[in-house]
Amino acid sequence: MNIVLVGMQWGDEGKGKVIDILSKKVDYIVRYQGGNNAGHTVVVGKQEYIFHLIPSGILHPGKICCIGNGVVIDPQVLLQELDSLRKNGIDFSRRFKISSLAHVIMPYHKNLDQLREKKRKNKIGTTGRGIGPCYADKINRCGIRMIDLLNPGVFRDKLKDNLKEKNEIFKKVYQHPGFSFQKIYRQYLDYGRLFASYICNTSALLNKATENKADILLEGAQGTFLDIDFGTYPFVTSSSTTSGGSCIGTGISPVKINKVIGVCKAYTTRVGEGPFPTEFAKDFGNFMRDKGNEFGSTTGRPRRCGWFDAIIARESVMLNGIQELAIMKMDVLDGLDKLKICIAYKYRGKLIKEFPCDFEVLSKAVPVYKEMPGWPNQNSKPRSFKELHPNAKAYLLELQKLLKAKITMVSVGSSRKDTIFI
């Protein structure tokens, strides 16, 4: 069975925890897009792990973890993650695979990302990790792929061509001295040598696994509204975060996808710039940010927080074909008097019940809320749906009704045991 797991909002929905739980039940876990702009936090006992590139399933002995062709890889970050696994005694040598077709983030991508962002009037608020420029090179057909790092001749020619053009841009547009060929060439060939035993044709591997009835989890990074096509463009990331991206980013055909699970928070958060209709007012926003510890695991940036937006979540159900929902951080809503769910937007006197493609409408939309009663702080963590406070149950049932998808998992805390399965 092949399962796709996607974020339904603007990322940081808590996918890491769901992936960790599902990883136990599958044989393969695959990242299909994004790069080290993502960050999954997994808590096992007292040990906290933060993964940016390697699927967190690597913590489960025996599971095969792949970085698919749709991912962009910063070799330095990958090396650090592998080192940290080694330090914690996790043996991954025969069960970690990197697609030979995955593109490589080069030093000039990172600088370009930061310099471009600095120069822009309308800032995107990127993570500055070189994600956009790396994907741009992929589409421009001048990108460098993992397999190129294994072939000194091919890599030399590609890098030379790239630096010729890029150094001119750096000097003329950004008054930056540019990059030396030798340093990058040597360093990246070294990376190639270090990763050689993991680099392979992951699409062939995964398709063979499917033929052999293995179970595969395809884990999305970021969220639906950061998708390059369907997100709140241009305030998006540069990859296809929606479930369709899982086919492109792994080489598994759409006819072989069996289930799509959507992950969303019981409220909404967003990092970086861009429209966010249900964003809280400043003081309450600060209060909820602290309550939910809403700080990025990748950049540490404070996340913007807001009420649950059923318009975007329902759009997400449609775009991804979501069959099951995992509602995360439900416990963060404990102790609030009342809760609000956005069920429509108002723009220039008109009621809008569907996600507006017009950026201007989304930026100026005034949310129309349905209010629900809150529930007090809980002395102990509920372990089943039955044990939830009646108002919490009513809130979840309302979400289920609005989104027309079944809630199968509710998270009420960061550790594995604080999870309700329905």
Residues 29-88 that bind ligand IMP (CB under 6 A): 37-38
Q: How far is CA 93 from CA 63, 86, 97, 190, 369, in A?
A: 11, 10, 9, 18, 51
Tell which one of 217, 271, 288, 319 touches ligand IMP (CB under 6 A).
271
Please identify, among the stretches 14-22, 128-136, 190-198, 413-421, the one whose residues bind ligand IMP according to the rule CB under 6 A.
128-136
How far apart are the C-alpha atoms of 178 and 316, rounded to whole Å? 41
How far apart are the C-alpha atoms of 30 and 380, rounded to whole Å? 35
Count other Cβ atoms within 10 Å, centred on residue 321.
17
Q: Is 320 in the site for ligand IMP (CB under 6 A)?
A: no
Q: Which is nearer to ligand IMP, 16 or 367 (CB)?
A: 16
Q: Is 277 in the site for ligand IMP (CB under 6 A)?
A: no
Q: Is 125 in the site for ligand IMP (CB under 6 A)?
A: yes
Please identify, among the stretches 121-129, 211-219, 305-313, 370-378, the one whose residues bind ligand IMP according to the rule CB under 6 A.
121-129
Supply the DSSP string of 1-66, one letter for each residue: -EEEEEESSSS-SSHHHHHHHHHTT-SEEEE-SB-TT--EEEEETTEEEEESSS-GGGGSTT-EEE
Known catalytic residue: 40?
yes
How far apart are the C-alpha atoms of 143 and 102, rounded to whole Å? 10
Q: Which is nearer to ligand IMP, 13 or 155 (CB)?
A: 13
Residues 130-169 that bind ligand IMP (CB under 6 A): 131-132
For the chain, how long is the longest CA-to-CA vector? 66
Known catalytic residue: 176?
no
Q: Which is nearer to ligand IMP, 31 or 314 (CB)?
A: 31
Residue tagged active-site, from 12, 20, 148, 331: 12
Supply the DSSP string of 175-209, one letter for each residue: ------HHHHHHHHHHHHHHHTTTEE-HHHHHHHH
Under DSSP, is residue 104 helix (H, G, I), strand (E, B) or coil? Answer: strand
Provide the minimum distance between the beta carbon of 380 and ligand IMP in the complex, in angstroms, as a whole number. Answer: 31
Quick one: CA torsion of 21, 26, 28, 30, rounded to 10 degrees? -40
* Token pair belonging to 181: 């060929």
Residues 185-244 that bind ligand IMP (CB under 6 A): 221-222, 226, 235, 237-238
Provide the minimum distance between the beta carbon of 168 and ligand IMP in the complex, in angstroms, as a whole number. Answer: 24
Beta partners for residue 41, in sequence order:
50
Q: Which is nearer to ligand IMP, 119 or 350 (CB)?
A: 119
Residues 9-38 that bind ligand IMP (CB under 6 A): 10-12, 37-38
Active site residues: 12, 40
Binding site for ligand IMP (CB under 6 A): 10-12, 37-38, 124-127, 129, 131-132, 221-222, 226, 235, 237-238, 271-272
